[in-house]
Every structure is written in structure tokens, then in C-alpha cells.
């Protein structure tokens, strides 16, 4: 049986009783925008009496917020659904219901197929329809059918989401732009997220003020092409991302601003200048190039060459010499030769990245590259990926090591595993581990960097240098891994 066992009434009443809210588990895959969307889904459902938990076990409502970018990412969803189905059956046996929803980019791309392949799924909701969740839930509870919300109307979404955001973190994501018009030949995003659309400046500022009032010190502006931002300003005309960033910098308490992901073709002069002028704008830039081969850049429809990328990097470093650069690379794009790959290695050696993500090309249904001839066999692509990742890890270690001996401000975000240890972020986005620092969580303080390791930095309060015996916790590898950004 696939009908949910929870009657509509109980799904929509605030809570069964004050003491037992309904439990909501959201599992998030993919990019930061999905992380943001998951938080907002929790916000929409909170007034209906749903409180989030961190396991599917015992949850009344489970949402998988999915990613379609590579085949592996999409397939994970189906195996997870298999497990959830068993849980749902166990719960049904003891007379309790579990509603299962699939949200995000897989939902958008293959909604019908999900319903067909996994009948335990109660509803499918695309990235622009989260505000419809309460309504979709009622419909699910009443009858089967009509459970797919997958239209592209991002303005409705943002207008309808609650203005109050939950969460207690000192660093937050804020979506300012969605969608993509670039149509890189390998990529599903223009199909799953729709056309580029920017939120109005006033809406972004209002959300940012609310975050600052709640104690958020650092905000990361999100967009698939965030630097193509052109939201309506107070004068009714489109505003650039740079202008938005200047306006955000005026909000008291918002001390750090970041943005991601940028496209090289939209890196405007005013944004580059802002990196030189605005102390709140952090010295970190994720600027994917995908390949160092001009021939492949053309086949990928990236619409720029390697020289343009080099020139851009020069101008950015002129404005902000210490900026940490990051990127994304695809290895094994159709037709990639040894020579093309060598061009990528050469580009990486010239640019010197602080961190970067690299991926094996994954053919995606419906994209032009999937049907290009000369798909590169795994046996050829994999050793290339490993060589690239080794180089990127070496650059990352060198960048981190070079921070040793410096003093800079760190925003402490959370407790570490060691007693009284705190973990924070450097301006360059590395994790900073510091002993006896848990009282500093939520604060931005100057920290002396005793050393830089592969994946993190070890900090000490200035003037309190001491030889710390314990090693920082090994962190999951942020850079150069074959994972979703």
C-alpha cells in the first residue's frame, strides 16, 4: 500500500498536542542551494507542527532534497528510497504513518519516473514549489494523484515562503538568484532549475536584516550564476551583484559576505573592484573553469577561452592580492585528449588554487554532451582525475601552509570534537581549529595561525602562543574530491 496512513486533519493541525510535535527529517544532497532550500522547507512546515530531527528513524515526514548533477548523485536517491520504504512498512505495521517526499533536482528532472519506480513515495516537489508543500501534503493525505509540484515560478516561491527563518548558526546561506541560461553542454541545471531569475534587492536586504538580528555574522549569497544577479533595485532598475553586496555591507552585524557560484563571463569590473574596497567581502572566490583546453571550452559552450580566464585572475589578484581561488573541473569530457588534459594541468599550475573540486564527466540524459561521440573510457579518465586531484591537493596544502605565522580574524561557528575546542572559518574559508576556545563561538576574533595542514589550520589566541600537543581533527576532505560541491 502506498497511501499515507496519516489523515489530512492531523497533517495540518499544529501538533498532536503541545508535547509531541510531528517529526520531520530532511536529507539534503547536492549544492548549497539545496541546503538553503531544505532550511526553508523546514520553515514552511514548522507552523504545521513539524520539528526537525536528524534521522529518518521515527520520522513522520521524510523529505529527500535531491541532486541530479551526476549520475551517482541521482542514483543514491533510489537506494535511499528503498531503505525508507522498509521503514515506512515497519511503521505502518505498528499503526503509524510515514509520508515520503522527493524534492530538488531529481524531482524536477524525473518526477514521474520516481513515482513509478518507488511507489512508497507520496509526493514529488520541484525546487520552485516548496511553498506548496502544505497544500501538497493535504492532497496527498486526501487522495492519490496531483502530487507533483514542478512548475518554474521562483517569484511565487520566494513571495510565499515565511519571512521568519529558523536555525541558530552564525553563518547562513541566502539565495539571491536561481536558475541558469548558460546551457553548458554537460549540465542539467538549466533544465532542473529553469531560467535565470534574481530576487529583488529589497527582499534580499529584508532577509539579511532578519538574519543579522538573529545573530548571523556571515552570509553567503547563493545563485547558480550568482554574479549574473540583476535583481530589481529601489529605483526599479536592475542592480548588479556588486551593488547588492555594498548594500548588504551596511547592515550592522553582518561582518562577512561571500557569494557562490560565479561564472567567468559574468565577473564584472565593479565586483572585482569591490574585492579591493570592501572589508566585509571575504577574500575567497569560487570561479569554475572546468577545463584548461580551449577546444573543450568551446565544446562545453563555456563561451570564453583560457587566456580570458588568466586575464580575469590577474585583474582579481590585482584588486585583492591575497584572494583564495577555488574552481571546478571536469575530467573526461567527450573527446578529451592527453593534450587537452595537459592544458588543464597547465592552467591549474599557473592559477594556483587554494582549493578546488574535480569530477569525472558523467553523461546526463537530455544534455548535448551525452550524445557527443568519443566518450572517454573510465580507464583513461580515472588516472587523469587522480593526477589532477594530486596536484590540487598539493596546491591546497601549500596554500594552507602559507597561512602559518599569520594573524587574521576567525569566525567561530561550532564546537570541535576535543574538549573545549572550537571550529571557525578563516577569511579564506579554511576550517580553523582552536583549543580552549568554545567560549568564542559566535564571535569574530583575531587568531594566530600556528600551522596549516592539508584540510585545516591550527589557531591560537594572539599572545597565547603555546605548543599544542593535540592534532586538529581530520576533516572530511573539502578539496579535490570527487563529490558534489
The residues binding ligand SAH (CB under 6 A) are 69-70, 186-187, 189, 224-225, 261, 263, 288, 290, 328, 330, 359, 361-362, 364, 485
Q: Is 285 in the site for ligand F3S (CB under 6 A)?
A: no
31 is a site residue for ligand F3S (CB under 6 A):
yes
- What is d(CA 423, CA 475) in angstroms, rounded to the nearest whole number? 11
Q: What DSSP element (H or E) covers 433?
A: strand 431-434
Nearer to ligand SAH, 70 or 139 (CB): 70
Taking CB under 6 A as the rule, does residue 263 contact ligand F3S? no
Residue 183 interacting partner from ligand F3S, ligand SAH, ligand SF4, none (CB closer than 5 to 8 Å by kind)? ligand SF4
Cβ neighbors of 37 (< 8 A, separation 6 or more) are 65, 103, 104, 127, 130, 175
**Which listed residue (21, 104, 200, 283) binds ligand F3S by CB under 6 A?**
104
Nearest alpha-carbon partner for 286 in 331, 343, 230, 221: 221
Residue with cell 579554511: 430
Measured CA to CA, the distance from residue 421 to residue 458 in angstroms comes to: 11
Minimum CB–partner distance for residue 225 and ligand F3S (Å):
11
Least Å distance between CB 457 and ligand F3S? 27
105 binds ligand F3S (CB under 6 A): yes
**Residue whose CB is less far from ligand F3S, 67 or 447:** 67
Cβ(224)–Cβ(189) under 8 Å?
yes
What is the C-alpha separation between 383 and 395, in angstroms, rounded? 19
Give the integer Cα–Cα distance in Å for 211 and 39.
13
Name the residue with cell 584588486. Answer: 319
With a CB cutoff of 8 Å and minimum separation 6, the contacts of 241 are: 176, 221, 226, 227, 228, 229, 259, 268, 271
The reply to whether 432 sits near ligand F3S by the rule CB under 6 A is no
Among ligand SAH, ligand SF4, ligand F3S, none, partner that 192 touches (CB below 5 to 8 angstroms by kind): ligand F3S
**Please, what is the minimum distance in Å from the beta carbon of residue 187 to ligand F3S?**
9
- Give residues in contact with ligand SF4 (CB under 6 A): 180, 182-184, 187, 189-190, 224-225, 263
Q: Is 220 in the site for ligand F3S (CB under 6 A)?
A: no
Q: Which C-beta is closer to ligand SF4: that of 191 or that of 408?
A: 191
Nearer to ligand SF4, 188 or 391 (CB): 188
Count CB atoms within 10 A of the CB of residue 16. Answer: 12
For 35, 262, 282, 319, 353, the CA distances from 322, given in Å and listed in that order, are 29, 18, 10, 9, 12
Query: Shortest distance, CB of residue 431 to ligand SF4, whole angstroms?
Result: 26
How far, in Å, are 83, 188, 404, 454, 460 from residue 434 at the CA level?
Answer: 39, 40, 14, 16, 6
Out of ligand F3S, ligand SF4, ligand SAH, none, what residue 460 binds, judged by CB under 5 to 8 A for its kind, is: none
| Interface pick for ligand F3S out of 120, 189, 222, 242 (rule CB under 6 A) | 189
Cβ closest to ligand SF4, residue 189 vs residue 432: 189
CB 361 to ligand SAH: min, Å: 5
Min. distance of Cβ 22 from ligand F3S in angstroms? 26
68 near ligand F3S, rule: CB under 6 A: yes
Tell me whether residue 17 is exposed, middle or buried, using C-beta atoms within 10 angstroms of its C-beta: 0 to 12, 13 to 18, 19 or more: exposed
User: By the 8 A CB rule, do 431 and 475 touch?
Assistant: yes
Out of ligand F3S, ligand SF4, ligand SAH, none, what residue 190 binds, judged by CB under 5 to 8 A for its kind, is: ligand SF4
67 lines the binding site for ligand F3S (CB under 6 A): yes
d(CA 318, CA 339): 31
Q: How far is the CB of 478 from ligand SF4 (least distance, A)?
A: 20
Nearest distance from C-beta of residue 485 to ligand F3S, angstroms: 7
Spatial neighbors of 237 by CB under 8 A, at least 6 apart, are none
Cα separation, 220 vs 257, in Å, equals 6
Q: What is the DSSP string of 121-143?
A: --EEE-TT-GGGHHHHHHHHHH-
* Contact between 384 and ligand F3S per CB under 6 A: no
Binding window for ligand F3S (CB under 6 A); candidates: 79-87, 142-150, 186-194, 435-443? 186-194
**Of 61-69, 134-142, 302-310, 472-480: span binding ligand F3S (CB under 6 A):** 61-69
* Contact partner, 221, from ligand SAH, ligand F3S, ligand SF4, none, Cβ < 5-8 Å per class: none
Least spacing, CB of residue 69 vs ligand SF4, in Å: 8
Nearest to 352 by CA among 310, 304, 308: 310
For position 64 contacting ligand F3S by CB under 6 A, the verdict is: no
Q: Which grid coordinates belong to 132? A: 506548496
Of 211 and 300, nearer to ligand SF4 (C-beta) is 300
Beta carbons of 444 and 410 less than 8 angstroms apart: yes
Contact residues toward ligand F3S (CB under 6 A) are 30-31, 33-34, 67-69, 104-105, 188-189, 192-193, 484
Amino acid at each position: 500500500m502506498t497511501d499515507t496512513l496519516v489523515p489530512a486533519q492531523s497533517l495540518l493541525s499544529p501538533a498532536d498536542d503541545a508535547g509531541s510535535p510531528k517529526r520531520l527529517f530532511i536529507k539534503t544532497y547536492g549544492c548549497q542551494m539545496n541546503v538553503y532550500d531544505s532550511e526553508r522547507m523546514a520553515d514552511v512546515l514548522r507552523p504545521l507542527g513539524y520539528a526537525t530531527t536528524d534521522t529518518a528513524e521515527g520520522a513522520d515526514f521524510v523529505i529527500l532534497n535531491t541532486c541530479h548533477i551526476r549520475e551517482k548523485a541521482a542514483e543514491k536517491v533510489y537506494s535511499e528510497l528503498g531503505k525508507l520504504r522498509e521503514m515506512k512498512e515497519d511503521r505502518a505495521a505498528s499503526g503509524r504513518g510515514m509520508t515520503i517526499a522527493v524534492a530538488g533536482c531529481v524531482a524536477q528532472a524525473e518526477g514521474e519516473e520516481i513515482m513509478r519506480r518507488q511507489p512508497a513515495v507520496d509526493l514529488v516537489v520541484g525546487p520552485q514549489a516548496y511553498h506548496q508543500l502544505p497544500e501538497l501534503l493535504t492532497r496527498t493525505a486526501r487522495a492519490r494523484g496531483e502530487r507533483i509540484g514542478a512548475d518554474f515560478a521562483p517569484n511565487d516561491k520566494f513571495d510565499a515562503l515565511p519571512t521568519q527563518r529558523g536555525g541558530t548558526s552564525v553563518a547562513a546561506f541566502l539565495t539571491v538568484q536561481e536558475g541558469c541560461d548558460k546551457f553548458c553542454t554537460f549540465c542539467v541545471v538549466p533544465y532542473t532549475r529553469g531560467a535565470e531569475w534574481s530576487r529583488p534587492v529589497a527582499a534580499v536586504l529584508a532577509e539579511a536584516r532578519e538574519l543579522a538580528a538573529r545573530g548571523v555574522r556571515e552570509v553567503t549569497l547563493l545563485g547558480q550564476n550568482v554574479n549574473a544577479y540583476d535583481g530589481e533595485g529601489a529605483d526599479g532598475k536592475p542592480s548588479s551583484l556588486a551593488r547588492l553586496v555594498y548594500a548588504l555591507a551596511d547592515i550592522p552585524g553582518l561582518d562577512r559576505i561571500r557569494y557562490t557560484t560565479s561564472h567567468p563571463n559574468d565577473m564584472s569590473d565593479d565586483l572585482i573592484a569591490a574585492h579591493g574596497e570592501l572589508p566585509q567581502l571575504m577574500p575567497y572566490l569560487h570561479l569554475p573553469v572546468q577545463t584548461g583546453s580551449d577546444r573543450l571550452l568551446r565544446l562545453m559552450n563555456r563561451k570564453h577561452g583560457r587566456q580570458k580566464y588568466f586575464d580575469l585572475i590577474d585583474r582579481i589578484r590585482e584588486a585583492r592580492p591575497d584572494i583564495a581561488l577555488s574552481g571546478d573541473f571536469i575530467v573526461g569530457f567527450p573527446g578529451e585528449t592527453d593534450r587537452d588534459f595537459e592544458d588543464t594541468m597547465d592552467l591549474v599550475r599557473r592559477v594556483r588554487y587554494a582549493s578546488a573540486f574535480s569530477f569525472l564527466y558523467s553523461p546526463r540524459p537530455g544534455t548535448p554532451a551525452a550524445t557527443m561521440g568519443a566518450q572517454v573510457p573510465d580507464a583513461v579518465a580515472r588516472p587523469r582525475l587522480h593526477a589532477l586531484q594530486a596536484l590540487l591537493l598539493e596546491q591546497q596544502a601549500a596554500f594552507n601552509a602559507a597561512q602559518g605565522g599569520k594573524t587574521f580574524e576567525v569566525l567561530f561557528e561550532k564546537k570541535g570534537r576535543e574538549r573545549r575546542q572550537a571550529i571557525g572559518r578563516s577569511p579564506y574559508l579554511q576550517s580553523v581549529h582552536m583549543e580552549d576556545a568554545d567560549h568564542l563561538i559566535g564571535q569574530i576574533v583575531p587568531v594566530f595561525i600556528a600551522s596549516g595542514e592539508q584540510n585545516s589550520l591550527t589557531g591560537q589566541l594572539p599572545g597565547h602562543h603555546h605548543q599544542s600537543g593535540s592534532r586538529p581533527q581530520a576533516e572530511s576532505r573539502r578539496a579535490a574530491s570527487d563529490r558534489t560541491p
